Every structure is written in C-alpha cells, then in structure tokens.
Amino acid sequence: MLKRLDKYILKSFIGPFIVTFFIALVILLIQFLWKYIEDLVGKGLGTFVIAKLLFYASANMIPLALPLATLLSSIMVYGNLGERFELAALKSAGISMFRFMRSTIIAGIFIAFGAFMFSNYVLPKASLKFWTTLIDITKQKPALNIKPDQFYNEIDNYSILIGSKQEDNIHISDITIYEEGDNKHNTNVLIAAKGEMLPSGDKKNLVLKLEKGKQYEELKPEVRNKQQFEHMRMEFGTWEKVLDLSGFEMQQSSEELYKDHYRMMNVGQLSVAIDSLVVQSQNKSETLSKVLDQYFTFNRDTAFTSRIESMEKVKTSDTSFIETVNPEEQKVVIKRALASVRNISNYTQQIEDSMRFTNEKIADHKIEWHRKFTLSVICLVFIFVGAPLGAIIRKGGFGLPVIFSIFIFIIYYVISITGEKMSEQAVISPFTGMWMAIFIIFPFSLYLTLKAKNDSPIFSLESYSNFFYKLKQRLFKK
C-alpha cells in the first residue's frame, strides 16, 4: 500500500511541477522581453538570432522558475489531497505526515541535485552565450529606414535626405546625399530629382539608381588652389550609386572577452579565482605597510640609548624643530615636507582604492559561489513549506495555492536580494547575505510541518485569540 501511495503522490506532484515550471518560465521571459524591448525592436533581427537569445535567456531564468514551481506544485498536490479528504483518510489509517511526504521529499532531493548540476555546469555557459548575444544585439545599428524630410546618418560617412517616398519603399524623389571626407567635412554633395532605392542581392549594399542630378565635389588640398578653394560640378542623367551596408550586420563578439566574469564560472573556477584575489589583496596590504614603514618608522640608535643613564638632566624647551633651522632654509624644509606628505597620501589613496576594488571582486565571487548552493537548498526547503501548507489550507488547483506561493516566493526573493545587496556593500558577509533567506524560511517550514502534523488551524483567528487570552491570564495571575 505504501509503495502505491508513494507512486500516487509522486505522480500527482510531477505533472503540476512541469506545468507550473514552464508557466513561470514563460512569465519570466515576457518580463525579460518587456525590459529589453527597446534594444530588440527595429534592428532587423532574424528568427534564428531571436530564438537563440530567448533560449539562452530562458536558461538564465531557471534559477527563479525552479523554486517557484517547486513551491506551487507542492502546495497544489497536498491541497488537492486535503480537499478530497485523502489526507484525513491516510492519517486515520495511522500514516504520519512525514511518511506520506517521503516521496515528495525524495523528489525534492533530486530537484535540488539537478538544480546544483545545472547551476554549476550549464548556467555559466548559458550565461556566457546569453550576454555575448545580448551585447552584440545592443551594439547593432537599427535596420535601414530612410524617412522623408529627415536626415539619415546611420550609413557610415553618408547623410541622406529625401523629400518623399512612395508606398513601395523603392521610388524616392528630391534626393540629397552628403558624403564625408577624411577630415569629417562634407566634401561631396549629390542632388537628384528622383530615383530608386534597392538592396543588393546579398543584402550587403544599398543600390541607389538616381536620375537628373548634379554632384558637387571639393578638390583635394594638393590639387586645389589654397586661395580660391575650387570645387568640381558634374551633371548626370542617370547614375547608380552603391552604399556599403556591412555596418548593419551583427558583429559577433569573442566569448573570450567575458569568460573570466564571475557569473561565467563554476564552483571550482570561483574557488581558484577567490584564492587568487585574496593573495592579491594581501600583497597590496603588505606593500602599503612596507612603504609606510619607510616614512614613519625610525630605527633606534642603540649607541645613543646606552648612554642615556649617564646623561645629565637638562631643562626641556617648547622650541619646535623648525625654529632651530636657519630661517633661509625653513621654506625649503617646509616644501620638502609638504611634497613628501602629498606623495605618501596619493600613494596610500591609490593602494586603498585598488584594495577596495579587489575586495569588491572577492565579495562578488563569493556571492556567486554561495548562489550555486542556495538554489539547490531553497528547492528542498520549499518542499517543507508547500507540502504542509497545502495540507493545512486544503485547497488545490490554481486558485488559493497560487496566491500563497507567490506571496511566500516574493518574501523569499526580497530577503534574498536584500542580503545580496548588503553583501556587495560589505555590510554583512557573503555567507550571511546569501543564506539569510534560507535561515529565515527554514524554521518557518518546520513550524508549518509541525502544525500540519498536529492538524493545527494556523489561519484561525480564534486559535490566536485563545493563545493571547491564556497568556494574559497567566501574566495577570503573576
């Protein structure tokens, strides 16, 4: 019976988990598109490029979608069991809460293990592909779109102005083209009454078939007279001008530029990078200490101190050292002292800035290192939150479970982001910041499990009023 029960609960869990996971993933992808819509629209991106970007973006959304799906599906499963009084039947048969949670806990362990493997081996490579593709897209120029009565300057070394354009986007009129020379001045101006605008067969050039026009060109400095600034004018009946559109092609950046970023590393690489950065920070601290010792540490004169006891006592004087120096040399001494102070101050500031930057990098690497593990652990913790919570509320489907799961997930996310930001600012350690949300939610999960085991109505106002009433009676008696 128990094996059948495990199979039944596990089967009930897997279906909602897969559905809720992809629903959460789609919602997060929509949020991503909304955020970067301005960088994607109007650049003539191909279907393959957009599909590749969304694929890598979805991989980066899994760390958010996976815990949410685990929480929501566990609430739904045990909410359905409670709503159909199956949990009551199991408890009446003597089966404990932990016993019929066993299959879900085992599933949670597998999910946690898979989350760690994904976060450690797949996510760094997916992040590298995603950010490389996204940066290439943001750098790409907008698609060719020449509008009437507006200068178009996206083609390198050309400014194009047209008076009108027909609906076929081919026939144009009142054309003016300014071509920049080596000195970035308009040395060549072309005017045409009408023409056609067509892309070449390979889409790498724009072909302008112009009619009834003139071209004005300034002569080069070695040809023209410096006093007269001569130019050349040419009239034409038809002229075919080809403009290079290679600048509109998306240039693929090398992944080598971003592979050393901490988000593109696994646990082993992060550990090595952290050790290297710690050594760098220690070396900088030791270097600063040695430099300061040269300025502020004075060696003891043993020959002098050995004769202190034999020295006669003399009256002290309030005369400063500078007053004992020849007045003509005082200015030189003061200038040298000020220069020395400025030098050591500037050097100290440079070392401090460098150490601060290194320590920030250490914190970033440690945060990412802990993130690999917190993703796995929170998936398992949410099993202990969702299962007893579903058993308590006894509601399945996408109604009340969705409300509770989103509310709990938002609390977890806010605490997690707060801890991460505090860790980045060195307010708390990376360990405390990244595990803070789990340290808060895990006791809450144990509390829910205990309440579900004892069938305690945690959402009943009467139970809390009775508790405070009894507490008041005890305090009043004392």
How much of the chain, in percent, has pLDDT values that exceed 70? 76
In this predicted structure, what is the pLDDT of residue 241?
Answer: 83
pLDDT (tens digit, 9 = 90+) per residue, 426-455?
A: 889 999 999 999 999 999 888 888 877 776
pLDDT (tens digit, 9 = 90+) per residue, 313-330?
A: 555 555 566 666 677 677
More reliable by pLDDT, 246 or 53: 53
Task: Give the mean model confidence (pLDDT) for residues 363-391.
Answer: 90
36-50 as b/e, with b when 16 or more CB fall inside 10 Å? eeeebeeeebeeebe
152 to each of 140, 148, 184, 204, 477, how far by Cα in Å? 16, 9, 16, 18, 86
Mean pLDDT of the chain: 79
Is 350 in contact with 284 (CB distance < 8 Å)? no
Highest mean pLDDT among 62-76, 82-96, 124-138, 335-349: 62-76
How far, in whole angstroms, is CA 166 from its chain's centroid?
Answer: 45
Is 124 in contact with 265 (CB distance < 8 Å)? yes
**CB-based contacts of 356: which residues, under 8 Å, 6+ apart?**
none
Question: Distance (Å, rounded) from C-alpha 15 to C-alpha 151?
Answer: 57
More reliable by pLDDT, 154 or 272: 272
More reliable by pLDDT, 94 or 369: 369
Task: Give the mean model confidence (pLDDT) for residues 365-389.
Answer: 90
In this predicted structure, what is the pLDDT of residue 461?
Answer: 46
Residue 356 pLDDT more than 80?
Answer: yes
* DSSP class per residue in 93-145: TT--HHHHTHHHHHHHHHHHHHHHHIIIIIHHHHHHHHHHHHHHHHHSPPPP-
Question: Distance (Å, rounded) from C-alpha 210 to C-alpha 230?
Answer: 25
Question: Distance (Å, rounded) from C-alpha 138 to C-alpha 133?
Answer: 9
Residue 48 pLDDT more than 50?
Answer: yes
Task: Give the mean model confidence (pLDDT) for residues 321-343.
Answer: 74
In this predicted structure, what is the pLDDT of residue 252?
Answer: 66
Task: Give the mean model confidence (pLDDT) for residues 224-242.
Answer: 72
pLDDT (tens digit, 9 = 90+) per residue, 456-471?
A: 665 554 554 565 566 6
In this predicted structure, what is the pLDDT of residue 470?
Answer: 67
In this predicted structure, what is the pLDDT of residue 416?
Answer: 92
Lowest-confidence segment of 67-76, 264-273, 337-346, 424-433 by average pLDDT: 337-346
Question: Distance (Å, rounded) from C-alpha 138 to C-alpha 140?
Answer: 6
410 HSE (CA, 13 A, CB side) = 6
In this predicted structure, what is the pLDDT of residue 450?
Answer: 82
Strand partners, 198: 207
Confidence of residue 396 (pLDDT cuts 50, 70, 90): low
Task: Give the mean model confidence (pLDDT) for residues 157-176.
Answer: 84
Residue 305 pLDDT more than 70?
Answer: no
**CB-based contacts of 158: which residues, under 8 Å, 6+ apart?**
177, 178, 179, 180, 243
Residue 22 pLDDT more than 50?
Answer: yes
Task: Give the mean model confidence (pLDDT) for residues 298-309.
Answer: 54
pLDDT (tens digit, 9 = 90+) per residue, 191-206?
A: 888 888 887 777 777 8
Residue 117 pLDDT more than 50?
Answer: yes
Task: Specify the pTM.
Answer: 0.71
Task: Give the mean model confidence (pLDDT) for residues 335-352.
Answer: 80
Task: Give the mean model confidence (pLDDT) for residues 32-55.
Answer: 81
Q: Looking up tokens 């592979």, which residue turns up?
A: 259
Residue 167 pLDDT more than 50?
Answer: yes
Residue 392 pLDDT more than 60?
Answer: yes
Taking the CA atoms of 339, 344, 347 and 353 in sequence, report the sign of the dihedral they define.
negative
Question: Distance (Å, rounded) from C-alpha 40 to C-alpha 136?
Answer: 11
Task: Give the mean model confidence (pLDDT) for residues 247-262.
Answer: 71
In this predicted structure, what is the pLDDT of residue 418?
Answer: 93
In this predicted structure, what is the pLDDT of residue 414?
Answer: 93
In this predicted structure, what is the pLDDT of residue 196?
Answer: 86
Structural tokens at position 122:
């797949």
In this predicted structure, what is the pLDDT of residue 415?
Answer: 93
How many C-beta atoms lie closer than 10 Å to residue 391's C-beta? 27
Question: Distance (Å, rounded) from C-alpha 434 to C-alpha 466?
Answer: 38
Confidence of residue 66 (pLDDT cuts 50, 70, 90): very high
Strand partners, 205: 244
Residue 5 pLDDT more than 50?
Answer: yes
More reliable by pLDDT, 373 or 13: 373
How many C-beta atoms lie closer than 10 Å to residue 92's C-beta? 9
In this predicted structure, what is the pLDDT of residue 25?
Answer: 92
How many C-beta atoms lie closer than 10 Å to residue 189's C-beta? 17
The residue type found at 417 is: I
In this predicted structure, what is the pLDDT of residue 469?
Answer: 62
In this predicted structure, what is the pLDDT of residue 353?
Answer: 81
In this predicted structure, what is the pLDDT of residue 21?
Answer: 92
Lowest-confidence segment of 16-20, 109-113, 118-122, 474-478 by average pLDDT: 474-478
